[in-house]
Amino acid sequence: EYQGNIVDPPDGKITITLEGAPEIINQITPADLKANILLSGLPPGTQTVPIELTLPNFVKTAGISTPTVKVEIVDAKSTSGTPDSPPPSGDSPPPTGDKNPSNQKGNQEGTG
């Protein structure tokens, strides 16, 4: 099983300019627009993949900031840690270090 991460554009966003009747264009919401990339059959590594747009009826694309995205495809098993490790037993000693609650919160973030 593989996992894909968008590398470029760095923020994963694209800009689309639409063309159509004003009464249709003015009612479009982001939920009405779909941008898909197909990764099936691609090998691991960095791949450049075309963006496939799904638009409402009677609307067409007048422009797109980038027609492709670069995707890093990796083996999901190698990025998920060690799946064969047993779960913690609960017998581990409590963490040591600063007892400041704000530091403890900071240490817990991103561990889930």
**pLDDT value for 59:** 96
CA distance 38 to 61: 19
pTM of the predicted structure, to 2 decimals: 0.60
In 3D, which of 14, 13, 15, 28 has the Cα closest to residue 59?
A: 28
Domain boundaries, the chain: 2-81
**pLDDT value for 57:** 94
pLDDT at 33 over 50: yes
Q: Among residues of the chain, what percentage have pLDDT more than 90? A: 52
Q: What CATH class is the domain 2-81?
A: mainly beta
Between CA 85 and CA 111, with CA 105 as vertex, the angle to 5 degrees is: 25
**pLDDT value for 35:** 92
pLDDT at 107 over 70: no
CA distance 73 to 102: 36
